[in-house]
Amino acid sequence: MLIVENPVMKSARLWLAAAVLLAFSATTTFASGTPAGTVITSRVKVTYTDISGVTADSAFSNFVSVTVAQVAAVNVTPPNGAVTTSSDSVNADYALTVTNSGNGTDKFALSKISSKGWTVLFYKDLNGNGLLDAAELAAGAIAATDSVKEDSTFKIIARVVVPRNSALNNQIDTTTATATSQFSNSKSAGSILMTSVHTVNFSNIGNGLTVDNATPAPGQNVTYTFTFTNNGSVPATGVSLSDLLTGFTFVSATSSQGSFNSTANPVLWSIGTVNVGASVSVTITLNVPLSTTSGTVLNNIVSATYTAGTNTFIVSSNGRSITVGTAYGVSISPDSAANSKEPQDSVKYYFTVRNTGALKDVIELSAASSEPLAWTFIKDVNNNHLLDGADVPLTNTNGKAGVDVDSVASGDSVHVFALAILPMVQFDQTKDVTTITATSSANSSKFQSMVATTTTNIPVLTVAISVSPLPSQPQPPGGVLTYTISYANNGHADIDTSYTVAARIPDSTSYVPGSVKLGALSLPDSAAIQNGTVSIKTAGLKQSTNGTVQFKVKIK
pLDDT band per the 50, 70, 90 thresholds, residue 294: confident
Q: Is 497 helix (H, G, I), strand (E, B) or coil?
A: coil
Is the per-residue pLDDT at 76 higher than 60?
A: yes
| pLDDT tens string 78-94 | 988 877 776 666 788 99
3-state secondary structure 286-355: EECCCCCCCCCEEEECEEEEEEECCEEEEEECCCEEEECCCCCCEEEEECCCEEEECCCCEEEEEEEEEE
Q: Tell me, what's the pLDDT at 57?
A: 65
Q: What is the CATH number of the domain that holds 436?
A: 2.60.40.10
* Predicted local confidence at residue 24, as pLDDT: 33
What residue numbers bound the domain in which 61 lies? 2-67
**Residue 210 within a domain:** no
Secondary structure of residue 283 in the 3-state scheme: strand
Instruction: Verify that 356 and 424 share a domain, yes or no.
Output: yes
Both 59 and 148 in one domain: the answer is no
Residue 440 belongs to a domain: yes
Same domain for 514 and 403? no
pLDDT tens track for 519-542: 999 999 988 998 889 999 888 899
- The percentage of residues in the chain with a pLDDT greater than 90, rounded to a whole number, is 65
Q: CATH number for the domain including 295? A: 2.60.40.1530
CA proximity to 110, closest of 138, 151, 148, 150:
148
Q: Is residue 334 part of a domain?
A: yes
The mean pLDDT of the chain is: 87
Does residue 40 lie in a domain region?
yes
- Residues 366 and 435 placed together within one structural domain of the fold: yes
Question: Given CA atoms 257, 259, 260, 262 in this order, what sign does their dihedral have?
Answer: negative
Question: How far apart, in whole angstroms, are the C-alpha atoms of residue 495 and residue 385?
Answer: 31
pLDDT band at 21 (very low <50, low <70, confident <90, very high): very low
Residues 441 and 343 in one domain: yes
Which letter, b or e, does each residue of 117-126 get, where b requires 16 or more Cβ atoms within 10 Å of its Cβ? ebebbbbbbe
Rounded Cα distance, 344 and 500, in Å? 24
Mean of the pLDDT values across residues 361-383? Answer: 94
Number of helices (H), then strands (E), belonging to the chain: the values are 2, 44
Q: Would 468 be classed as within a structural domain? A: yes
pLDDT digits (tens, 9 = 90+) for 191-229: 999 988 888 888 778 889 999 999 888 888 999 999 999
408 shares its domain with 355 = yes
- Are residues 393 and 482 located together in one domain of the fold? no
Distance between CA atoms of 469 and 320, rounded to whole angstroms?
Answer: 89
4-13, 383-392, 505-514: lowest mean pLDDT where? 4-13
**Range 415-429 average pLDDT:** 95
Both 188 and 141 in one domain: the answer is yes
Residue 87: its pLDDT value, please? 61
| Number of Cβ atoms within 10 Å of the Cβ of 179 | 29
Q: Residue 443's pLDDT is what?
A: 87
User: Could you read off the pLDDT of 166-201 as tens digits, one per residue?
Assistant: 677 788 999 999 999 999 999 999 999 998 888 888
* Rounded Cα gap, residues 158 and 92, in angstroms: 8
Given 302, 323, 344, the domain boundary residue is 323
DSSP state of 408: E
**Final residue before a domain boundary, out of 323, 358, 380:** 323
Query: Does any domain span residue 485?
Result: yes
pLDDT of residue 62 exceeding 90, the answer is no
Lowest mean pLDDT among 48-52, 261-265, 417-421: 48-52
In a domain, 46, yes or no: yes
Q: What is the mean pLDDT of residues 542-556?
A: 93
- Which of helix, strand or coil describes residue 502? strand
CA distances from 146 to 36, 108, 141, 402 (A): 19, 8, 13, 98
What is the pLDDT at residue 13? 34
Q: Mark whether 45 and 93 lie in a shared domain.
A: no
Domain boundary among the residues 151, 167, 196 is at 196
Q: Which of 483, 495, 462 is nearest to 549 (CA)?
A: 483
Best CA proximity match to 228, nearest among 248, 251, 210: 210
Number of domains in the chain: 5
- Of 2-6, 17-21, 298-302, where does the model show the most confidence? 298-302
Pair (260, 361) in one structural domain: no
- Domain containing 533 — which CATH number? 2.60.40.2260
pLDDT at 306 over 50: yes
Q: Decide if pLDDT at 16 tops 50.
A: no
Same domain assignment for residues 250 and 173: no
Query: Over the stretch 241-286, which tens digit does the pLDDT of each residue have?
Result: 999 999 999 999 999 999 998 888 999 999 999 999 999 999 999 9
Residue 26 lies in a domain: yes
What is the distance in angstroms between the CA of the first residue and the CA of the last residue of the chain?
Answer: 189
pTM of the model: 0.47
- Contact between 307 and 240 (Cβ < 8 Å): no
